[in-house]
Structure 1
Amino acid sequence: MPIKIPNQLPASEILQQENIFVMNEARAYAQDIRPLHIVILNLMPIKETTETQLLRLLGNSPLQVEITFLHPSSHQSKNTSTKHLSAFYKTFEEIKGDNFDGMIITGAPIEKLPFKEVNYWDELTEMMDWSKTHVTSTLHICWGAQAAMFHHYGIDKTPLERKQFGVFKHRIRVQNNPLLRGFDDIFYVPHSRHTTTSTAELERHDQLHILADSEKAGVYLISNGDGSQVFVTGHGEYDADTLKEEYLRDVEKGLNTKLPDDYFPSDDLDNVPPLLWRAHSHLLFSNWLNYYVYQETPYELG
């Protein structure tokens, strides 16, 4: 089934070339189907790239999904044009009276900054509180997951001695959880972050459950009891070359960033990195949409 996105969104052409079933607004209105309404709060600087990555995963589902993109009005984007934001994005003020089946809050490259020093922190926390009453299930990614765990549960992030950077093996900790249905015992996920979340602190919260983790990268997938809040510390949405691009940007800035772990074959920058995480990323998003959104959301929103 298709993913419904705004007409003329740049990601549309890329997704259609990959045989992702994309439906424009005009065609979707002709179908007598109640789509799932998903709002994506995109906090990443290069929003067009993140749009394509997330829509690719949301489009691999038998469900029709309608997307609303959101950006914080209290932050001035430096890497995405005002024209693009005006054409494809809404602000919280425009949608806060609405209800949604699901929400995604992305990461943001501001991990070293204390949460309360983020210039849109007040607006973000208002949206996170709003999500508890206006959204069936919210999926938080990387910094978005850390911010939500800090705001909702008081669990702060912990600085790392060096950047957690690379592709890491992960294991399932809780068997038969719907989010991990169909997963292999060992699966791979990219990580790119300067901070982590303490396993011990998470285990002290009865409301939170660590579902999957990595011996090297730490906790990966966390959920509250009813699946209305899901936290993902890695970047399964990344393309095969995303870590390479991040590494080259760090080098260009003069940062002492090591090569991503277990990413380049033979640790040779000239070798093409294999894409090892796409299948499980599709599974995670499909499971979330099916079990914690579609099967839990009311037919009549609100």
Structure 2
Amino acid sequence: MALILPRGYHKISAVERNHISWIEPELAKRQDIRPLRIGILNIMPLGKQYEFNLLHPLGLSPLQIEPIWIRLNSHSYKTWDLSHLSKHYVSWEEAMSPSPLDGLIITGAPVEHLPFEEVKYWSELVDLINEARKSCASTLGLCWAGFALAYLAGVSKKVFQKKLFGVFPMNSLIPAHPIMGTQDDIFYCPQSRYAGLPDCEMEEAQRKGLLRLLSYGEKVGYTIFETTDQRQLMHLGHPEYNVARLLSEMERDKERGDVPPPENFNYKKPQTPWRSHRNLMFQQWLWFCYQRVSLNN
């Protein structure tokens, strides 16, 4: 189908260059097709530049997707283009009107070193997550947002002394799973984080029925998991990253001098061995949201 995007949106040329269909909201209304309304709470630094990393896999869906960009009232957005934020982002209350969102994506944020309660917007984020669990088919938390959802489920992150940075193999643990069942037995995904979740605590959470573990890597641990009601899906990696984003993080870290180059990634001849994982995961997650919404209608 197509992404529903306003004319003049800054990533239209990138969308068209990647052969992703898009239509304006007015045409979408005339087509009388019920789109899947996907909220995106983007709290990444330089968030305007990051947006296409999510639009690309969402735009490959056979469903009609309406991305709703969401801002937090208590976040300062210091590295952002504030005019872009004002023009294209809405509050949570506005995003939920006139009808609830069908799914919610929460991005990562560079605050892994902080206790959750010390993050300025933590209280507002928790309220939003709790509301989404009741009203949205599924919430997908990426990187730090995955840690936040795990913390609310009872598993605390462990801060690393050295950044985990690179492209790493993982094993799919449940072949028949509705979202992960389409993945190869072994697949690859970028990781860019200063924290992890202890294996023993994750396994204990599964024994208690709090979480269901979906993927594991020897170096990255349990990276993809969900709550047992399937309302929340957590991915501690960055499947949405493209090569440009990984290279830009490498250059940023090199300037600071505290992080070696990404592992298992030839930055001189960069490739994307995680592309199929990214595309399949987002497509299956969207389809999962669509099926849940359809059953409730």
Report the TM-score when normalising by structure 2: 0.94
Aligned to 1:297: 293
Per-residue CA distance 1:169-214 (angstroms, 9 max, x = gap): 1111112111123221111100000000122212222131111111
Q: Give me the whole-angstrom Cα distance separating, in 1, the residues matched to 2:220 and 2:100.
A: 35
Q: In structure 2, what is the Cα distance between the partners aligned to 1:224 and 1:191?
A: 22
Partners of 2:50 and 2:295 in 1: CA distance: 29
- Secondary structure of the equivalent of 1:140? strand
Task: State whether structure 2 residue 278 is matched by structure 1 residue 281.
Answer: yes
Deviation at 1:36, TM superposition (A): 0.7
The 3 A distance-change label for structure 1 pair 246 and 180 is same
Q: What is the rounded CA distance, in whole Å, between the counterparts of 2:296 and 2:160 in structure 1?
A: 45
Q: Do residues 136 (structure 1) and 137 (structure 2) align?
A: yes
The residue that corresponds to 2:253 in the other structure is: 250
Q: CA RMSD in A?
A: 1.6
Contact preservation (8 Å) 1:111, 1:195: yes
Q: What amino acid maps onto 1:275 in structure 2?
A: T
Unaligned runs of 5+ in 2: none
SS in structure 1 opposite 2:292?
coil
Q: 1:67 matched to which residue of 2? A: 67
Q: Greater shift after overlay, 279-288 or 242-251?
A: 242-251
- Kindly indicate whether residue 119 of structure 2 is the aligned counterpart of residue 118 of structure 1: yes
Counterpart of 1:7 in 2: which secondary structure?
Answer: coil
- 1:8 Cα deviation after fit: 1.9
Distance 1:69 1:126 in 2: 18
Aligned to 2:217: 214
Per-residue CA deviations over 1:46-105 (Å, capped at 9, x if unaligned) read: 112221010101111111111110011111112212210111000124335641110000
Which of 263, 269, 272 is 2:269 aligned to?
Answer: 272
CA distance in 2, matches of 1:149, 1:194: 16
Given residue 173 of structure 2, which amino acid in structure 1 is its aligned partner?
R
Contact 2:254 2:260 in 1 (8 A): no
From 227, 231, 235, the equivalent of 1:232 is: 235
Ranges of 4+ aligned residues in structure 1 off by more than 6 Å = none
Is the 8 Å Cα contact of residues 174 and 181 (structure 2) preserved in structure 1? no
Match of 1:87 in 2: 87
1:143 and 1:135 map into 2 onto residues whose CA distance is: 20
Task: Name the structure 2 match of 1:161.
Answer: 161
AA at the equivalent of 1:240: V
Q: Per-residue deviation at 1:299?
A: 7.1
Cα deviation, 1:124-174, whole Å, max 9, x if unaligned, reads 1110111111211111100001011112x1211101131100000111111
Q: Secondary structure at the match of 2:259?
A: coil
Identify which range, 117-126 or 198-207, moves more after superposition: 198-207
1:92-111 aligned within 5 A: 92-96=92-96, 98-111=99-112
Q: Is the 8 A contact 1:2 1:65 kept in 2?
A: yes
**Distance in 2 between residues matched to 1:87 and 1:25, nearest whole Å:** 15
Residue identity matched to 2:210: Q
Query: For residues 98-131 of structure 1, what are the alpha-carbon distances to aligned partners after superposition, in whole Å with 9 as ceiling and x for unaligned?
Result: 4111000000011111111111111111101111
Which of 141-150 and 178-187 deviates more?
178-187
Counterpart residue number, 1:195: 195
For 1:56, the aligned partner's letter is H
**Cα 1:300/1:217, change in 2 over 3 Å:** closer
Q: Percent identity?
A: 35
User: Does the Cα contact within 8 Å between 1:11 and 1:48 map onto a contact in 2?
Assistant: no
Q: Is residue 95–residue 101 contact of structure 2 (8 Å, CA) maintained in 1?
A: no
What does the per-residue CA deviation read over 1:218-256, in whole Å, with 9 as the maximum and x for residues that have no partner? 112101223211000100111113222112111212x32
Letter in 1 for 2:118: E
> Counterpart of 1:213 in structure 2: which amino acid?
Y
Between the two proteins, the alignment pairs up a number of residues equal to 293
